């Protein structure tokens, strides 16, 4: 059946060359566009898994890519507020400006968690619309995929059948993988964790993990030794089983806590490219679960 579907997709691959130039703000969206568009899109990512997506410079090479793009795919929810507006303005590309078909924000199609009661710079890197790190839950990826496939078809209406077929194939494989992931992760439900940064609420909600503390005193602020000491004391009353941090984050805070509590650390890829195994969206979740399960033994 898969062979037949791939043959159908190949038949729809006319013309063969990439028709759309896509600039994705983060690696997960570049990977998703590749899943949905295949050879019809030339895809570039503005950031890598080893960069903090909050803090990127709108350098000339990125502006040049944005100038040629037919579509930009970003997370939204304020994640790229420090650099995406500059990129769009400097590109002077009318196709990818807000409100145009070539401007796509994934967070617009997801119910966001952690909407703050109060918005102030004194509270750190808070996002008024909610937590933007939606790529850590495969159910959110599925919702974005449906909207993104429709957007790609809108940009190339004569190729709508191609995008519909690619989306159907991706959805079939994704649903099977999600079922497999959830079966393997069943024993993680109720496991209590300490996060270095509030970057995994969607992952925790999906798997039933319970966050009991974060190492950053406020989002985006490096923890002091005094704050880490306070977290260590608090864990005596509310114990945890492991510490979670993203691969791109500095190791020192989580290692400081691990040395004093004996808790294992799960270093998660966080996005595509964050580890050798996380080379695509499927590998991202395979590796994330393996690392959590190994740390939670």
What pLDDT shows up at residue 4? 40
Domain boundaries, the chain: 20-180, 184-296
pLDDT of residue 260: 96
Rounded to two decimals, the pTM is: 0.90
Residues 6+ apart with CB under 8 A from 247: 49, 50, 267, 268, 269, 270, 274, 275
Contacts of 132 by beta carbon, 8 Å cutoff, 6+ apart: 75, 76, 77, 78, 79, 107, 112
Residue 278 has pLDDT above 90, yes or no: yes
Q: Are strands 71-74 and 103-105 parallel, antiparallel or unpaired?
A: parallel
Task: Report the alpha-carbon angle 78-136-246, nearest 5.
Answer: 85
Per residue in 172-203, pLDDT (tens digit) is 999 999 999 999 999 999 999 999 999 999 99
CATH class entry, domain 184-296:
alpha beta
- Residues paired with residue 265 on neighbouring β-strands, in sequence order: 243
Q: Compute the average pLDDT of residues 125-138.
A: 89
The pLDDT mean for the chain works out to 92
Q: For the chain, give the percent of residues with pLDDT over 70.
A: 91
The region of weakest confidence among 45-59, 148-162, 203-217, 230-244 is 45-59
Q: Which two three-digit tokens encode residue 11?
A: 């038949």
Q: Please state the rounded mean pLDDT for residues 4-33.
A: 72
Give CA angle at 265 (125, 221), nearest 5°. Answer: 20
The pLDDT > 90 percentage for the chain reads: 83
| CATH no. of 20-180 | 3.40.50.1980
Continuous H helices in the chain: 2-11, 27-37, 60-68, 84-91, 138-155, 160-184, 201-207, 225-237, 252-261, 281-295
Q: Indicate if the pLDDT at residue 230 is higher than 90.
A: yes
How many degrees, rounded to 5, is the angle at CA 283 between CA 163 and CA 125? 90
Same-fold call for 20-180 versus 184-296: yes
């Amino acid at each position: 059946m898969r062979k037949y579907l791939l043959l159908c997709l190949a038949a729809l691959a006319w013309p063969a060359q990439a028709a759309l130039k896509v600039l994705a703000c983060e690696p997960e969206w570049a990977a998703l566009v590749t899943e949905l568009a295949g050879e019809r899109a030339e895809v570039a990512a503005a950031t890598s898994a080893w960069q903090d997506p909050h803090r990127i410079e709108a350098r000339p090479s990125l502006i040049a890519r944005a100038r040629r793009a037919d579509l930009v795919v970003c997370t939204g929810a304020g994640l790229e507020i420090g650099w995406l507006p500059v990129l769009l303005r400097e590109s002077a590309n009318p196709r990818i400006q807000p409100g145009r078909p070539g401007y796509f924000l994934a967070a617009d199609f997801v119910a966001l968690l952690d909407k703050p009661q109060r918005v102030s710079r004194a509270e750190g890197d808070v996002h008024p619309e909610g937590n933007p790190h939606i790529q850590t839950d495969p159910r959110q990826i599925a919702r974005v995929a449906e909207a993104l496939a429709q957007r790609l078809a809108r940009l190339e209406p004569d190729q709508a059948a191609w995008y519909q077929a690619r989306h159907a194939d991706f959805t079939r494989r994704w649903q099977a993988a999600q079922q497999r992931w959830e079966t393997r992760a069943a024993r993680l439900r109720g496991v209590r964790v300490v996060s270095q940064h509030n970057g995994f609420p969607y992952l925790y909600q999906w798997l039933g993990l319970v966050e009991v503390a974060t190492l950053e005193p406020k989002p985006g602020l490096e923890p002091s030794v005094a704050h880490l000491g306070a977290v260590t004391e608090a864990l005596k009353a509310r114990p945890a089983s492991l510490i979670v941090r993203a691969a791109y984050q500095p190791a020192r805070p989580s290692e400081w806590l691990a040395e004093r509590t004996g808790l294992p650390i799960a270093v998660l890829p966080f996005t595509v490219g964050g580890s050798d195994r996380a080379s695509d969206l499927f590998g991202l979740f395979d590796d994330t679960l393996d690392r959590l399960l190994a740390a939670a033994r």
